[in-house]
Amino acid sequence: MLIKEASLELVKSGKNFFTRRDIIGIAKQKDPSRSDMSLDFEIDLVTVNSNSKDKYKDPEKLFLFRVDRGTYTLYDPEIHGPIEKYIELAKFSPARKQVIAQVIKDLEERGFEVSENKTSKPLLPDLTAWKDEKKIGVWVIDPSADRATQLKNLYLAIGSSMVDQSYDGYFIVMPQDLADKLSDRVKGVLESFNTKIIILREEKKYTLLI
């Protein structure tokens, strides 16, 4: 695995702590065909304490540990704790579960039939909703996640809405402050792909503004 080879090379050179840019730089030396975006995404997949919902569930594929924002080291269970707790946190985050449950409830109240997609395929949305014989993919950007993770999941959702045409349309549910960062041009392009931005408002509970 390219990211692992790059990380091990950094450690051998005397760096016990390194940045995403360090990893990507070494990885691109080994394989210049790889884009920064794909390598950046892969770093999240192999980081034990990553917030990414697409993080690998196989312990054998998890070898990085995020020490601070943008700073990593090799994962060591004796220092960082057993890997099981990080896998469980990723699968059963109480905050994310609460958000997903509230989104499902709000959609059902609006006449949708909703099911949660629990597999970890990269282009599969979080939820599938049906109404009036239309199948809608629903991506939920976790408001409790850090901004870097929110942006990565947003890029994934946008890419999915443009590439996967097995759905009649998409909803991308996100907090207001993240939606404010989207330009009118981007919103226009998304609308042309039948993709609607839905604001997730936080009061005493999360509610959708459809």
Radius of gyration of the chain (CA): 18
Residue that wins the pLDDT comparison between 105 and 55? 105
Residue that wins the pLDDT comparison between 191 and 201? 191
Residue that wins the pLDDT comparison between 114 and 98? 114
- Token pair 């730089």 is found at 25
Contact 55, 90 (CB under 8 A): yes
pLDDT band for position 88 (50/70/90)?
A: low
Phi, psi of 199 (to 5 degrees): -85, 135
Task: Look at residue 198 and give its three-state secondary structure.
Answer: strand
Q: Does residue 91 surpass a pLDDT of 70?
A: no
Task: Look at residue 75 and give its three-state secondary structure.
Answer: coil
Q: Which CATH class is domain 94-209?
A: alpha beta
Q: Does residue 52 surpass a pLDDT of 90?
A: no
Q: Does residue 20 surpass a pLDDT of 90?
A: yes
Q: Does residue 49 surpass a pLDDT of 70?
A: yes
Q: Does residue 17 surpass a pLDDT of 60?
A: yes
Residue 204 confidence (pLDDT): 46
Go through the chain and tell me how many residues it has: 210
Tokens of 142: 């976790």
- Residues 127-165: tens digit of each pLDDT: 999 999 999 999 999 887 778 778 888 988 998 888 888
Tokens of 69: 């924002």
Residue 210 confidence (pLDDT): 58
Mean pLDDT of the chain: 86
- The ranges assigned to domains in the chain are 2-91, 94-209
Contact 64, 42 (CB under 8 A): no
